[in-house]
A and B are shown apart, each in its own frame.
Chain A
Amino acid sequence: QKEVEQDPGPLSVPEGAIVSLNCTYSNSAFQYFMWYRQYSRKGPELLMYTYSSGNKEDGRFTAQVDKSSKYISLFIRDSQPSDSATYLCAMSPWGYNKLIFGAGTRLAVHP
């Protein structure tokens, strides 16, 4: 069993929809949780960063961490075609060192 599980999708939604992306994990030592966005033929870029449990909001993006369930989510409101990308969750006990990534979920937002 992988330490971090993420449904690879693909996920296809209409423009304006609310998107929910999720990851589950097994290592209770994880304290740092991140979401990266990766456009085709590009490197991953950090989207959201959360320490421990709770919610964090940034514009149309909301990250949630539920450590009791070992479950993290990324919500995208009012999704746009420019949000079409692969979204990778990542986590670590130590911050940005030795991040463990999920497989990534491919999202397509169609006009």
Chain B
Amino acid sequence: DSGVTQTPKHLITATGQRVTLRCSPRSGDLSVYWYQQSLDQGLQFLIQYYNGEERAKGNILERFSAQQFPDLHSELNLSSLELGDSALYFCASSGQGPGNTGELFFGEGSRLTVL
């Protein structure tokens, strides 16, 4: 158990809908990362937050947004869902600074299926 908790584990929804994925980092970790894992694209970095502020952005679509709350949990919001958004979404956390951070600890992921 990595200590990173993600909910829900599975989610099935329809095209055009909006969903929110939630992540609770390891106790004390200030950095949260979101990754998308799909069969054809592998594991892709989406976005990083450090202590409530956005620190780095990867290949995150404009339909997607994220935030990190004062209690350090994070949410990834996916809207106007398309079939191609079906994937595993992982949250990871680390305990060091916003720059050269330490080891990433991954949660078990949220599996999103868009029908």
The minimal Cβ–Cβ distance linking A79 to chain B, given in whole angstroms, is 23
Cβ contact within 8 Å between B104 and A46 = yes
For window 65-113 of B, CB contacts with A under 8 Å fall at 90, 92, 94, 99-109
Q: How many residues of B contact A (CB 8 A)?
A: 24
Interfacial chain A residues near B42, Cβ < 8 Å: 88, 101-104
Question: SS class of chain A's interface: helix, strand, loop or mixed?
Answer: loop
Residues of A within 8 A of B (CB): 41-46, 49, 88, 90, 94-104
Interfacial chain A residues near B103, Cβ < 8 Å: 46, 49, 96
Residues of B within 8 A of A (CB): 2, 4, 42-45, 48, 55-56, 58, 90, 92, 94, 99-109
Cβ contact within 8 Å between B92 and A43 = yes
Known contacts A43-B4, A43-B92, A102-B42: A97-B106 contact under CB 8 Å: no
